[in-house]
Amino acid sequence: MSESRILISMNVLKDCLGLSRGELLAVVADDDKRELAESVYEAGKRLGAESMLLVMQPRSKSGEEPPAPVAEAMAKADVAVCITTHSMTHTSARKQAAAAGTRVATMPGMTEDMFSNGAITADYAQVKELTEQVAALLSAGREVRVEKDGLSLSFSIDSRDGVLSTGLYLNPGESGNLPSGEAYIAPMEGTASGQIKVDGSIAGIGALHSPLVLTVEQGRLTGAEGENGDKLLQMLGAGDGRFLGEFGIGTNNKARITGVVLEDEKVYGTIHVAFGSNNTFGGIVAAGVHIDAVVMKPDVYIDDKLIMLAGELL
């Protein structure tokens, strides 16, 4: 077990989650991420927390629920850290744990490199400030339009609230990704239409070597042209997984495109759209799948006002 990784884990537990002596820490992992999770478990013990390591079989896709005993342990812990191959961010288990007062950090697809470089090294006070500003813009907005390379996608966000993932989860019930830095929102179901060019990465596929053009009609993904298009449609299935479920803006200036969407969607200068479940953050879609797609350097308008030009927030 890497000593440097244990030290970084101790910093993350203290600084980002406020873990203190005597608290109950649940570290959730699957077989593939067990080694990384063991470092966090060890770090928790060194900080004097009552630490538990729960290892399950890998889920088959992001948004799939963990076994019931894992969900129960998360809800009874003071702090839960989920280091898994596929994302638990948009699961009922995560939502219920937060509702029970657990401080939750999800680390889907976390790699050894990401534990010590890139987004994890950001100044999270700075990330928090920018994320709060962007979330406020989303909360106040009614309509979003994303433009890139002559294509345009628009949708309503009227009456929906922006959500922050700041990387700091210090109060009961606060939760989000680590590493972090994004503000996101659930578009109104059925309102999205147009096309968008995805050229960063896609969860479950990785960094893209050639772009995908996605076509959305009446809120649903109807086409995906380009390499990996068929794979994306297959992962989402033919049902509610095709709904546009999320629009997000990256706010972490240390994040890099790595092929792991956990870091990719946090990159400053990118936006991401996701298809599938959004019932855990203000929407009504519960699809059992949630797949993010990252777009580099677009133009973004909220209520026809330009807020991002070629990736730069104005």
CB 88 within 8 A of CB 94: yes
112 or 312, which is more confident?
312
Residues written for the chain: 314
Average pLDDT, the chain: 96
CB 44 within 8 A of CB 25: yes
State mean pLDDT over 255-261.
Answer: 94
Q: State how beta strands 24-30 and 50-56 pair.
A: parallel
| pLDDT over 70 percentage in the chain | 100
> Per the CATH hierarchy, to which homologous superfamily does domain 3-116 belong?
Thermophilic metalloprotease (M29) (3.40.1830.10)
Task: Specify the long-range contacts of residues 212-217, CB closer than 8 Å, at least 24 apart.
Answer: 212/293, 213/151, 214/153, 214/273, 214/293, 216/153, 216/155, 216/192, 216/244, 217/193
In sequence order, the β-bridge partners of residue 270 are: 296
- pTM of the predicted model over 0.75: yes
Distances, alpha carbon 261 to alpha carbons 34, 86, 270, in Å: 19, 10, 12
Q: Residues 301-311: pLDDT tens digits?
A: 999 999 999 99
Environment class of 31 (CB within 10 Å of its CB; exposed 0-12, middle 13-18, buried 19+):
exposed
Question: pLDDT-based confidence at 1, cuts 50/70/90?
Answer: confident
pLDDT number for residue 85: 94
Q: Is the pLDDT of residue 55 over 90?
A: yes
pLDDT number for residue 115: 86
In sequence order, the β-bridge partners of residue 154 are: 145, 193
pLDDT number for residue 90: 86
State mean pLDDT over 275-283.
Answer: 95
Q: Is the pLDDT of residue 279 over 90?
A: yes
Q: Residues 72-89: pLDDT tens digits?
A: 999 999 999 999 999 999
Distances, alpha carbon 58 to alpha carbons 82, 87, 93, 176, 231, in Å: 12, 10, 15, 20, 20
In sequence order, the β-bridge partners of residue 155 are: 144
Tokens of 234: 């297959």
Q: Kindly report the three-state secondary structure assignment for every residue of 190-206.
A: CCCEEEEEECCEECCCE
Task: Delimit the domains of the chain by residue range.
Answer: 3-116, 121-313
Q: Residues 218-242: pLDDT tens digits?
A: 999 999 999 999 999 999 999 999 9
pLDDT number for residue 235: 96
pLDDT number for residue 62: 87
